[in-house]
Amino acid sequence: MSTQNKLQIIPKKPCYQSNDLIEFIINGNVVDEFNFIRLRIYRISIEEEYDILEKFFFFDLLKDNEGLYIVRVKAEYLDPGLYRIAYAELNIIEKENRDQILRFDIYEDDQINSPGFELSTTSCAQTSFDLINSKINNIYLHRINIMNSGFGDNTKNSFFKVFVFCKDIYLTKRYDYDKYEIIPFESLGYYDTIELINKFLLINNLQPLTYPLGDEVSSHNSPGIVISFPKLFADNVDEAGNIAEEEVLTLLKAFSLTRVSYGSIISCTVLDEASLNIRIYKPSYTGSLMPGDEFGENPFNNRAIVKFLKDNGFLNLCVSLYAEALNEKNIELAYSKLWSILESMATKKAYPIGQFRKIYLDGSKIQGVPQPTKDKEVSAKDKVRELIREFINKKPKIKKGN
């Protein structure tokens, strides 16, 4: 995008002090069509990995005596430091109803021409736009150097470039995190799903689906992101893939809280730049490979389990936790979920206080711990131990032959 087509937001001065009024000149091909502007001002710090959203400001677009669009911000609203504007939104807002937005145009970082400025606690006499931009460029160069220093244990024998592709997570901007980059990417195509469905339909002599067009397709697409590790230390390709996947799974869990999403890994691509070899990983199947009724393919057993799950909410919860534990790559978290199942089942048993015994499962006494006499003296371990003891002591029912 050329400079002429960008939205220009130019601070009148390169440096301000806390009692100043910061002024910006707004210019662009379409500014005259709007009556309102929103600006996000970001603080740039060498101590941080990315720019920090400091404030979100709203202004009426009004011309001054010279015919220029000017917006003003009190410097006291900002802390000392280096700043830039990386987001703007031009609006047409109904004058009688300020909440009614009739039209809006959004300008991201690469669509804005806006020199940085500084809010200083000292004199601004020797400050220029060139000096400010040099400071900002040095911070960005420092961040690049950190990114290129590599993720993981730098005592490893070699390093790799890794890309982890994820689905069902929607982001609108790319940014660096630690020593990898998070990049919004294309949605997972709806056509791939249609082709899979049609393959099944044709095998079964059924009419294949037609391909929808336009918005109908995009509404079914799964949003995606790519996590890029420019330099990941590992002893080999397999370890590089495992390290990247473990990190990304933790990141996706964080997004489940902040983006209310349930993202998952589609594949992991590892590039060995030394040998120019590329290896593609896909999440592997970890369940049973054995065929037959005795290995989980009995339709009567599975149908009975489905009925139990529908009828029993507690059982449904326990099985959900069990499924999550099976899919959990972190062994400690997996055991934690399995323990939660045992603790929940033991608590639901509601054993009487007299049944708890401070005796290990092998029959030896637990030393230094008194026999509980009150409910509050019973620990989760006591309850789970009793549950397991009960299960062990049950005599299996042996069916007699006909």
pLDDT at 9: 92
Q: Which residues contact 17 (CB under 8 A, 6 or more apart)?
A: 75, 119, 120, 121, 124
Pairwise CA distance, residues 236 & 91, whole Å:
53
Euclidean distance between CA atoms 347 and 337, whole angstroms = 15
- Interatomic CA distance for residues 224 and 336, integer angstroms: 30
What pLDDT does residue 224 have? 83
Q: Please answer whether residues 14 and 131 qualify as being in contact, where contact means their C-beta atoms are separated by less than 8 angstroms.
A: yes
Question: Is the CATH code 3.40.50 the one for domain 3-127?
Answer: no
Q: How many angstroms separate the most distant Cα atoms in the chain? A: 104
DSSP character at residue 174: -
Q: Going by C-beta distance under 8 Å and a sequence separation of 6 or more, which residues neighbour residue 74?
A: 21, 22
Determine the Cα–Cα distance for residues 266 and 327; give it in Å rounded to an integer: 14
pLDDT given at position 92: 87
Instruction: Extract the tokens encoding 303.
Output: 């149908």
Rounded to whole angstroms, the Cα distance separating 201 from 187 reads 25
Neighbour tally for 83: CB within 10 Å: 27
Mean pLDDT by 10 residues, the chain (402 residues): 72 92 89 88 83 81 87 90 90 74 82 91 89 92 88 90 87 79 74 68 74 50 83 91 88 81 83 70 65 72 80 87 81 89 90 75 71 72 85 64 47
Alpha helices in 260-330 (DSSP H): 299-311, 313-327
For residues 359 and 365, give the distance between their C-alpha atoms in angstroms, rounded to a whole number.
4
With 0-12 CB in 10 A as exposed, 13-18 as middle and 19+ as buried, what is 15?
A: buried
CA dihedral 55, 58, 62, 65 (to 10 degrees): -30
Query: How many CB atoms within 10 Å of residue 257?
Result: 8
How high is the pLDDT of residue 2?
A: 47
Using a cut of 0.75, tell me whether the model's pTM lies above it. no
Residue with tokens 């393959």: 199
What is the C-alpha separation between 137 and 144, in angstroms, rounded? 10
Number of separate helices (H) and strands (E) present in the chain: 8, 16
What single DSSP character describes residue 108? -
